């Protein structure tokens, strides 16, 4: 039997940034919640927020010492995704390297998945 693969993995940079955010939060948090919402010119956009508790049916991924909670409606869109923290000349942000994406808008704020993945949601 193959071991179960996490829905999402983190790079060392992403894990370090999540730890920094957790340590500097003004209230106790247990991790970072990741989801997707229908919006943007390509159809979907990633969402992130502090998680103070685990909600029903959320997948929990613990990677490199941090906890990521995945909203139930987002799980199928995130399978195999790597979350990274990227610092560029004019800013820094989390980036998602998602093998389920088939298109991304020009500004990079939204993405589209294969029709069969969206239909299974």
CATH number of the domain enclosing 22: 2.60.300.12
Cα–Cα distance measured from residue 78 to residue 34, given in angstroms and rounded to the nearest whole number: 9
The mean pLDDT value of the chain amounts to: 83
Strands 66-70 and 101-104: unpaired
Report whether 104 contacts 112 (CB < 8 A).
yes
Q: Is residue 107 part of a domain?
A: yes
Tell me whether residue 39 is in a domain: yes
Q: Does residue 8 contact residue 61 with C-beta atoms inside 8 Å?
A: yes
**Residue 22 is assigned to a structural domain of this protein:** yes
Q: Which domain holds residue 49?
A: 8-119
Count CB atoms within 10 A of the CB of residue 64: 13
**For 24-81, how does the pLDDT look when each residue is reduced to its tens digit (9 = 90+)?**
999 999 999 999 887 766 578 889 999 999 999 999 999 999 999 999 988 888 888 9
> 3 lies in a domain?
no
Helix (H, G, I), strand (E, B) or coil at 80: coil
User: What total of structural domains would you count in the chain?
Assistant: 1
| Residue 80 falls inside a structural domain | yes
């Amino acid at each position: 039997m193959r071991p179960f693969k996490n829905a999402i993995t983190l790079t060392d940079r992403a894990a370090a940034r999540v730890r920094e955010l957790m340590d500097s939060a003004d209230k106790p948090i247990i991790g970072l919640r990741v989801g997707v919402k229908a919006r943007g010119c390509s159809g979907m956009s990633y969402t992130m927020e502090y998680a103070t508790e685990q909600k029903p049916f959320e997948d929990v991924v613990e990677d490199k010492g941090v906890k990521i909670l995945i909203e139930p409606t987002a799980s199928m869109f995130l399978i195999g995704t790597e979350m990274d923290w990227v610092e560029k000349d004019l800013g820094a942000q989390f980036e998602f390297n998602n093998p389920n994406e088939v298109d991304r808008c020009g500004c990079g704020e939204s993405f589209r998945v294969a029709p069969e993945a969206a239909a299974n949601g």
